[in-house]
Amino acid sequence: MIIGVPKEIKNNENRVALTPAGAKELVKRGHTVYVQHTAGEGSGFSDSEYETAGAKILPTIEATYEIAEMIIKVKEPIEPEYALIKEDQLLFTYFHFASHEPLTKAMVDSNAVCLAYETVEKSDRSLPLLIPMSEVAGRMSVQKGANYLEKPLKGRGILLGGVPGVLPAKVLILGGGIVGTQAAWMAAGLGADVTIMDVSLQRMRYLEDVMPANVNTMMSNEYNIRKMIKSADLIIGAVLIPGAKAPHLITRDMLKDMRPGTVLVDVAVDQGGCIETCKPTTHENPTFIIDDVVHYCVANMPGAVPYTSTLALTNATLPYAIQLADKGWKKAAQENAELIPGLNVINGDIVYKAVAEAFGMNYVPVEKYL
């Protein structure tokens, strides 16, 4: 198969979808790998490293899309890329369709095959290609939150871990999944007073067992959220409904109950966000303020630590990329059921129910193609 790795063009996105080591594995199996010039530079990989691994370098993004049967990316295609995507071309990347209607319509119109990292699903319901970036984003959410609590950045002027004789900051985490768990570890490690909210009693029992003493669990409901936000210094939104839009757990009217300088970090913003007032921002302009509450809503947080993120992501994606290249997407999905929920759009049809429902568009069961 001919595989193309374009350079990411989303604002401040420095990750790359394939490392030189990954390129070598694909070339070893007889595939041809084309990497766009400087695609790996942001993650610390030079063109010469890819060439040594057996890949070929192309000068432009247009040339990369034009030649490839399979495109491997990190972030969803953005508008300048829409016209480059060809009929029957396989795109293997993060899409987060349910929060972005123009992207969904563009991919439907392209007649391409869109296989989304974030909805590839194991039999135990875990999301193997979302986990590594959730781990990075969860840990980063606390780093960023701690930073924006500083007064020069319009925060409350509170040190996350406090000092002897001064209480630590209160951190409220909405969601006890991968992001929430990683955020709790980081916040607890820095000495904060942490509360994780979740709707699953089973999950909270697990968290209660594994977390240190400065982490408490609490049932997530509107009453409890309204009560806790009044004293929280840092609130982290870590809610995920696979393939669908995140629900708004913090609404616009709740901001008036928060103290000035409270910091909100919405890790779910690329799936629509679980904080109503959050809108996607970039690493260039990461925050905005509403009602004296600082909102940090960067949609590609792991892009700020591209070396770590690229290695963590490609460790997870490469085995699937090899299957897709070796067998083609159809046979690979027939032989590995984990790939089937990853299929979101095929040849103009939306084959992932939550995406079709998000926009009231027509849904076609994926079985039509398998």
Tokens 């209607």 belong to 101
User: Cα-flanking dihedrals φ and ψ of residue 298, to 5°?
Assistant: -70, 125
Residues 348 and 106: their CA atoms lie apart, in Å, by 9
Q: Which position among 96, 100, 295, 349 bears the catalytic label?
A: 96
Residues 55 and 67: their CA atoms lie apart, in Å, by 14
Binding site, annotated residues: 15, 75, 134, 198, 203, 220, 239-240, 267-270, 298-301
Cα 108 → chain centroid: 22
Q: Which of 122, 31, 53, 30 is nearest to 16 (CA)?
A: 53
Burial class for 289, CB neighbours closer than 10 Å (0-12, 13-18, 19+): exposed
Which runs of consecutive H residues, i.e. helices, occur in the chain? Answer: 20-28, 47-52, 61-67, 79-82, 101-110, 131-148, 178-189, 201-210, 222-228, 306-335, 353-359
Binding site, annotated residues for NAD(+): 134, 198, 203, 220, 239-240, 267-270, 298-301
DSSP state of 71: E
Binding site, annotated residues for substrate: 15, 75
Give me the residues paired with residue 71 across strands.
4, 91
Q: Is 248 part of the annotated catalytic residue set?
A: no
DSSP string over 78-99: -HHHHTT--TT-EEEE---GGG
Q: Which position among 193, 233, 270, 349 bears the catalytic label?
A: 270
Q: Are 249 and 273 in contact (CB under 8 A)?
A: no
Q: Is 257 part of the annotated catalytic residue set?
A: no
Q: Which of 114, 120, 76, 119 is nearest to 345 (CA)?
A: 114
The set of residues, in sequence order, having a beta carbon less than 8 Å from that of 129 and lying 6+ positions away, is 117, 118, 120, 313, 316, 317, 320, 342
Residues 15 and 280: their CA atoms lie apart, in Å, by 18
Q: Which residues are catalytic?
A: 96, 270
